[in-house]
Amino acid sequence: MPKFSCLAGISVGGYKEWPVAQQVLEGHTSGVWTVGFCSDGKKIVSGSEDKTIRIWDAESGVQICGPLEGHTDGIGSVGFSPDGRRIVSGSNDKTVRIWDVERGVQIGGPLEGHTRVVNSVGFSSDGKRIVSGSDDKTVRIWDAESGVQIGGPLEGHTGWVNSVGFSSDGKRIVSGSNDRTVRIWDAERGAHIGGPLEGHAGRVNSVGFSPDGKRIVSGSFDKTVRIW
């Protein structure tokens, strides 16, 4: 049965010993593709090839909600809203879905628009918007309350969009793609900010802003991490 672990380490006299605590959270019936903590660290969310989402107590390792069912294919990206009351998920079924954590139900219908696999999703810091990136080479922004797409797709990448995220102030979005570039977008206007950030020699798998929004980090199949 698929498992994943929560590990904690301590440092004594400069030496670290790993692990000192381990929990194995079991329940999924196929590979676990994505996991994350809520902002207070008390809950964990997981998404799986088994098409379900599960919520776990991070202290006890007990499943406290789920399985959340609705996706018709594997789930490659999940994340809590800043207040921990909702979860967003993106799936190989081409949809984005929003879930109520306390009630364990889907909120509204699926957010539809992408024409291929959804690889990455995330909330803005105020919880009012969601960003998604897809194999259809686009980035999309959604109203987290109504589920309506805000504006048109953000287009420019020439390969799959593997990773997306908002800046902490919600004004910008960063994306990383199979086209080996990182791009920055104005989240209000839905337009590029500057040109693509080039330098990686392989697909860009993961991107993110620094907390102050002044830097971006990217990780690539070319074996490097870059700061911009």
Q: What's the CATH code of the domain at 137?
A: 2.130.10.10
Lookup result for tokens 């337009």: 191
> What does the alpha-carbon distance between residue 73 and residue 91 come to, in Å, rounded to a whole number?
6
Residue 171 phi/psi, 5° resolution? -90, -20
Token reading at 127: 């919880």
The answer to whether position 6 is within a domain reads no
Q: How confident is the model at residue 97 (pLDDT cuts 50, 70, 90)?
A: very high
208 located within any domain: yes
Quick check: is 17 in a domain? no
* In a domain? residue 139: yes
Tens digits of residue pLDDT in 15-69: 556 665 578 999 999 999 999 999 999 999 999 999 999 999 999 999 998 899 9
Q: What is the pLDDT of residues 142-173, one digit of tens each?
A: 999 999 999 999 999 999 999 999 999 999 99
Question: In whole angstroms, how large is the CA radius of gyration of the chain?
Answer: 18
Amino acid residing at 213: G
Largest CA distance in the chain: 55
Question: Which structural domain, as residue segments, surrounds residue 147?
Answer: 32-53+68-227
User: How many distinct structural domains can be found in the chain?
Assistant: 1
Report the share of the chain in percent with pLDDT over 70: 91
> Average pLDDT over the chain, rounded to whole?
93
Q: What is the pLDDT of residue 17?
A: 63
Phi and psi torsions of 82, nearest 5°: -55, -35
* Average pLDDT estimate for 161-187: 98
* 139 strand-pairing partners: 133, 154
Specify if 5 maps to a domain. Answer: no
Residue 39 in any domain: the answer is yes
199 within a domain of the structure (yes/no):
yes
Q: Is the pTM of this model over 0.75?
A: yes
What amino acid occupies position 28? H
